[in-house]
Structure 1
C-alpha cells in the first residue's frame, strides 16, 4: 500500500449490491490546502426515461457530508443505518465528504450531537449557505461546483486542531490495518486508554471506535460478496478479522439487512438486494 493510500480515512465502498447502471458516481480529490479536513468531493448523476424510477442503498461512512440536493445545502451527520435514495428523471447530488473528525472544527461542538441528523447548512453558516447553494445549483460543470464550495470553506477555515490529525491516524489504522481487530488493539498502539479513546471518538467522529472498525469491515465484506458471489462467506469473514462466524453473521445481517448467503445470492441475480 502506497503512502497516499495510507492517508485515506474512508473506503470507496458503501454502495450495496451490484452497482446500478442507472447512475454514475464520480469522486474528486480536494485541493491540497483542504486535504487535512476534506477527504474528497463526490457527484452522483443520473438520467432515466420518463415514468421510470430507480434506487440505490448505501451503508454510510463515519463521516460528515456537506450535500447539495434539489437546490438545498445540508450538513449530514454520520448515519448509523443504511438508507435508500430513490431517483427519477435526470438529476445530480453533489457532496463534500469530510474526514472522520474533520468537521468538528467547523461545527464547534461534539460530532455526536449531530449523529443521525441532517441540518440545513444555514443553521451553521447563515444566509451565505443559501447563496452558495444557488450558485452551485446553477453551475453546469462539476469543476465549478468544487471551485465554489472550496472557496466557501477556505473563507471559513477553522484554526488547526491537533486532535483532528490524531483521530485521522487512528481511523486510517482502523481502515487499513488487518492486525487491528479490537478496540484494545487501538488503545495499545496509540497508548490511549479505552475510555479516553471513546470520549475522543464521541467528540470528533460521532460514533465509537468499535462502530468504525465494524463498519469498515462490513463495507469490505459486502463489496467482496457482491463482486465474487461464489466466495465462501466464512473465508471472507476470516480475512476481515472475524474469527467468530456467528458474530459475523449477526453483524452483517444487522447492517445489510440480509445474511451473507442471501446477500450474495441476490447479487448473483443482480437484484436490488436490500432497502432501508
Structure 2
C-alpha cells in the first residue's frame, strides 16, 4: 500500500486495508489461504470482531487452516503484515498461532495511541503512512539468525522444486532438527507446514490463472504425494480434501486418498464405472482400488493406472489423484 520505512523493511512485508458495508444485507463469508505471517490490525466497525469490541488493535497469529470470517454491518481494517518470523524478530515476543488477541505494547507504542492515530485519517493510504511512522522508531537491528531465516524463506517460496524438509535443511546447511527449532522460535509453525503452505499458494495461483489442465499432474509437481499436507483447504473454485480410509498396506499404516473437486457441472449422464466395474454417480461419488505402499511421484492421469496401482477414474467433477500409505512409526518431517 505504502512504501515501508527503511528500518521496517527487514520485518514488514506490506500494509493492507479493506472496508465494507453490509447494512441491510446478509453477512458475506470471506475465505483466505493466508501466508505464514503475523498481522497486526487496527479495526473499526459496527459489530464486535473475533470476540473483541471495536475499535481495537489486534494481533492475528499465524493461521494454520483456511481463514474464514463473516463480514457483517460496516467495518474497516488497516493492517501491517510482517514477514514470516518478522513479528518475533521485531518484538522479541514468542510467535502467535491460530489466535486473535488485543495488542498491548509489543510494537513499542501504546495500543490506544495507535488506534487513535490511525483512525484519525479517513483515507486508507494515509492510515498506512501513520502506521509506518509509528512503528519505524521501534524497529531494532535484525538478528543474524533471522536474516538467514528470511533468505531461506525466500528460497522456499520461490523454488517450486522444494517439497521436502530435508531438502530445505540441506540447502540451509543445517540438520532437520535445528531447522525445526529455528522455525518454532521465529515463525511459530514447522518448516513442513510453511513449505506446504507455499506450494498450496502456488497451486491456488495456477488455478486462478486458468493454466491448469491436469490437477493430478499439478499435485505431483508440487510434491503432494503426502495428502496430509493438503489439510489446509484451498478456497474458491477448487477444493482439496484428504480422505481417511481403512488402514492397509505394509505394517498397517495410515492410508489416505487425495481428491480434487473442481467447480462445474457433472459430466453428461451423471455416472461412469471404475476399473472394477462399480458404478459412480453424482459429483461426490468416489470409488477406489485397494491401495499399495508407494513412493512414486509420477502424475496419476485420470483413467490410467498410477505406479502404485491407484486409478483416477470417477465421474464428473471428482478426480482421484493418487494414494499414499504412511508407515506406522516412520519419522515425518
Q: Residues 80, 253 of structure 1: CA spacing in aligned structure 2 closer, same or farther, 3 A cutoff?
A: closer
Question: SS of 1:251's equivalent?
Answer: helix
RMSD over equivalenced CA pairs, Å: 2.6
The answer to whether the Cα contact below 8 Å between 1:44 and 1:92 also exists between their aligned partners in 2 is yes
Look up the SS of the partner of 2:150 in the other structure.
helix
Distance in 1 between residues matched to 2:199 and 2:79, nearest whole Å: 24
SS of the residue 2:161 aligns to: coil
Higher helix share: 1
The answer to whether 1:99 aligns with 2:83 is: yes
Alpha-carbon distance between aligned partners in 2 of 1:123 and 1:117, rounded to the nearest angstrom: 17
Mapped partners of 2:177, 2:265: distance in 1: 40
Q: What is the Cα deviation at residue 28 of structure 1?
A: 4.3
CA 1:251/1:200 → structure 2, altered by over 3 Å: closer, same or farther?
closer
**Contact 2:184-2:190 at 8 Å conserved across structures:** yes
Equivalent residue runs for 1:75-86 within 5 Å: 75-86=59-70
Distance 2:140 2:217 in 1: 45
8 Å contact 1:109–1:203 — kept in the other structure?
Answer: no
CA distance in 2, matches of 1:238, 1:124: 42
Q: CA deviation at 1:195?
A: 0.9
Q: Does 1:148 align with 2:130?
A: yes
Equivalent position of 2:249 in the other structure: none
Stretch deviating more after TM superposition (115-124 or 214-223): 115-124
In structure 2, the CA distance between the partners of 1:230 and 1:63, relative to structure 1 (3 Å rule), is closer
TM-score by length of 2: 0.64
Higher normalized strand content (fraction of residues) = 2
- Point out which structure has higher relative CO (alpha carbons under 8 A, 6+ apart): 1
For the residue of structure 2 that corresponds to 1:122, the secondary structure is coil
Deviation at residue 151 of structure 1 after TM alignment: 1.7
1:241 correspondence with 2:234: no
Do structure 1's residue 183 and structure 2's residue 157 form an aligned pair? no
Indicate the SS of the match to 2:119: helix
Partner of 2:14: 40
Residue of structure 1 equivalent to 2:230: 252
Out of 263, 266, 286, which is 1:265 matched to? 263
For residue 94 of structure 1, report the CA deviation from its aligned partner.
1.4
2:56 aligned residue (42, 50, 72):
72
Q: Is the 8 A contact 1:229 1:265 kept in 2?
A: no
Q: Tell me, in whole angstroms, the C-alpha distance in 1 between the residues paired with 2:4 and 2:265.
A: 33
Q: Secondary structure at the match of 1:103?
A: helix
**Residue aligning to 2:200:** 218
2:181 to 199, 213, 219: 199
CA contact (8 A) 1:101 1:204 kept: yes
Q: What is the CA-CA distance between 1:85 and the residue it aligns to?
A: 1.3
Measured after TM superposition, the shift of residue 239 of structure 1 is 3.1
Deviations 1:36-60 (A, max 9, x none): 1100011122344632331211122
CA displacement at 1:136 relative to structure 2: 1.1
Give the whole-Å Cα distance in 1 for the aligned partners of 2:110 and 2:63. Answer: 26
Aligned to 1:60: 34
- Structure-2 separation of matches of 1:126 and 1:170: 28
Q: CA deviation at 1:258?
A: 4.2
User: Is the contact made by 1:105 and 1:159 (CA closer than 8 Å) also made in structure 2?
Assistant: no
Secondary structure of the residue that 2:263 maps to in structure 1? Answer: helix
Could you give the per-residue CA deviations for residues 58-96 of structure 1, whole angstroms, max 9, x where no partner exists? 122111111112221111111111121111344321110
2:15 and 2:81 in contact (8 A); partners too = yes
